[in-house]
Structures are given as C-alpha cells and as structure tokens.
Structure 1
C-alpha cells in the first residue's frame, strides 16, 4: 500500500464522525421495513450516503448495525413510556397511561413501531458476532420495564407477586400490543380506537383488583 493510501486510511479512521448515526440507522430501518433482504451493506451505503468502509468502522458488521438500530428504537419507546407513567398518578391511572403510550408511539412513530413488531430481541442476541457491549445492552434492556410493571402491580393490588404482575402485563402490555400489531401490519390507524382500548385496560385492572378484595 502506498503512502498516500496509508495517510488517507489514517485520516479516515481518526476523523470525528461526519455522518450522524441517526442518518445511518434511519436508512437501515427504512430498508428493513421495505424488505429485510434489501438491507445489505451496499444498499445502506447508497441510502445513507455513507461509505461502506465508514459503516464497518463505526458498527463493525451489518448484524451489529441492526442490533444498534433495535436498541435505539426500544430506548425511544421506553423513554416515552417512562415519561407517560411518571406523569400520571400512581395506580390505575399510571397503568392506563403506560398502556396508552404503546398506542401513541405507534401513531406518532409508525416506522419505529413497525420495526419493533418485525424484529425479535432473541434473534439478535443469538448472533455470536455481536460485540459484548451490544449483547449486554440487548440482554438488560427490558429490566427497567419489568421493574415498572412490578411497581404498578404493587400500586394497584398492594403487592407484587406472580399473579398480580401477570394481570398488569396482560392489561398494560399484551392488550395494547395486540391492538397496535393488528392495525399497523394491516396499514390501519392504531390510534383510531384508543379510547375504547383504554377503557378495556382500566376495566381489566379494576375487575382484577375487585377479585383481590376478601
């Protein structure tokens, strides 16, 4: 390798990131949603206007890039989830606010929501080539949500055990997730029946709490 190519390589590796990660991750998301097989490194380079070498230098591999995209998307969802839950009064109102955020996220950020529906964390974690830091982030990502669900169970039922946490998961996670999934994958409006869904969530928790009373 001649001196000019060596110098160019050193400069490329040492310069600050000229391309915002979000630009690359947005391009990756759009290609995945258009059809996962089309999200090749070459296609990502073309879509984001970032050289292939820069992509590999920043992310290491296509699979690591996909994992970074999924992490960013989940963190965006969780940031809104925790903000909505924190702003609501404890107990039923907080649980309903948490359930509502799933619908609001799908309405406000449909591309990110569709990505979460189409990608499973377990598939990403199985990739042996992932950097240890990325793997650890994937494995630990749901811990704050689990703590929030246990807190909601304690606020609503007075205690958090397997049974009460399961009821909270059904109402706050499963119901809105199923609603959003059906509408998003069909190209519909996930927010259209938001009030009806939230009434079901509240009723489910109220009935379960009434059953707890001796």
Structure 2
C-alpha cells in the first residue's frame, strides 16, 4: 500500500502565509512554519529547498487568488467592479490579504531570491494580469492605451482601494461600509479615459 504524505506543500504554504500576516516576514522562520503545521522541521526541506522557496510559493498563491478575483472583471472592461472586488476578496481570506497587501516582495526575499521555477511562475501570473489590466484600459477609451490612462487606472483600480483598506487590514476585523462608498466616489469623480483637452485639475487647498 502506498503511504500518503502526512504534511502537504499546501499545509506549509498556508502556515507561512498566516505567520507573515500575523507577525511580518521575520515571524516565518522554517522552525516556526514547522511548529504551526505540527511537523518536524526536516519535513519542510523534503518539499521546499529554502525559506525563500516557501515564502515565494506563498506569495504566488496569494497573488493568484487576488488576480483570479479581479482579472475576469478587467477583461470585461469593468474597472469599478474590479476595484470593488478587492473588498470581498480581502474579507474572505484576511490572512492572505494581509500577507499580500501589507508586505513587499523585497522584504520577503531579502535573504535570498526565489528559486527560478517559482519566479518564472510569478512572471507568468504578472503577465496575464497585466494583459487583463491593459485590455480594461483599452475598453474604457478609444482602444488605445495611453500612459495617462494607465496611471489613472492603476490608481483607481489598485493603488487607491488598497491604500483605503490597509489601515483596516492592520487593525483586523470587518471593513467599514464607507470603504465601498469611497471607491465608488473615486470612480465617479475620475474617469479612466480622459478626453484629449481634459487637463489635470489642481487639488483643492485644504
């Protein structure tokens, strides 16, 4: 009879994700990951060659989950809905959201770069997501993709919504209702596709 592995790669990836979400990258040592799973430390090395390997696998899993929630909406040109989709995604899996949205890759991989296969997988994920993003921008305008429209779209779909929810991810608990309203108002006030003679309006004085 074939003996099945007691501890799967998924178990270690989930443990690493939770540890980073709760205590930052420094909390996700190999020993801490093993303790979280209830496995001997040596069993991790049967599946991951290094700490960098398991953290990069966790990053890819979180990033794939995030892009999976947004990319279908982006391909349909639904920029506002894509931005709002960040809210249920982050509420459904708060640990994964904290892992991805509160940390930068440079802090996760400062000890060593990710192994080549994991890095290549991330590049494939990023290329696919960028393609969906650019398709969304093109669909909202005249079919072209101008630098200004890319900047507007990044701000409206990613930068602003993530900046709005970050303080609440740090505190924990449900997102307040006004977060959705703020994202709605941003999209109503700043369209992605600007007309050629539409200048940038100065910010009102505080």
Task: Compute the TM-score of the two structures, normalised by the length of structure 1.
Answer: 0.78
Cα gap change, 1:195/1:34 in structure 2, threshold over 3 Å: closer, same or farther?
A: closer
Residue in 2 that maps onto 1:164: 149
1:61 and 2:50 aligned: yes
Cα gap change, 1:192/1:138 in structure 2, threshold over 3 Å: closer, same or farther?
A: same
Correspondences of 1:1-214 after superposition (within 5 Å): 17-36=5-24, 37-85=26-74, 90-91=76-77, 94-124=78-108, 128=112, 130-158=114-142, 159-190=144-175, 192-206=177-191, 209=193, 211-212=195-196
Cα gap change, 1:155/1:84 in structure 2, threshold over 3 Å: closer, same or farther?
A: closer
Cα gap change, 1:126/1:139 in structure 2, threshold over 3 Å: closer, same or farther?
A: farther
> CA–CA distance in 1 between the matches of 2:197 and 2:173?
40
C-alpha contact (below 8 Å) 2:137/2:153 kept by paired residues: yes
**Larger Cα Rg: Structure 1 or Structure 2?**
1
C-alpha contact (below 8 Å) 2:168/2:175 kept by paired residues: yes
Query: Could you say what secondary structure the match of 2:145 adopts?
Result: coil
Superposed displacement of residue 144, structure 1: 1.9
Larger helix proportion of the pair: 1
C-alpha contact (below 8 Å) 2:74/2:82 kept by paired residues: yes
> CA–CA distance in 2 between the matches of 1:46 and 1:128?
23
> CA–CA distance in 1 between the matches of 2:8 and 2:116?
23
Task: Compute the TM-score of the two structures, normalised by the length of structure 2.
Answer: 0.81
C-alpha contact (below 8 Å) 1:171/1:204 kept by paired residues: no
Cα RMSD of the aligned pairs, angstroms, is 2.6
Unaligned ranges ≥5, structure 1: 1-13
Superposed displacement of residue 191, structure 1: 5.1
C-alpha contact (below 8 Å) 1:107/1:190 kept by paired residues: yes
> CA–CA distance in 2 between the matches of 1:157 and 1:85?
14
> CA–CA distance in 2 between the matches of 1:157 and 1:115?
34
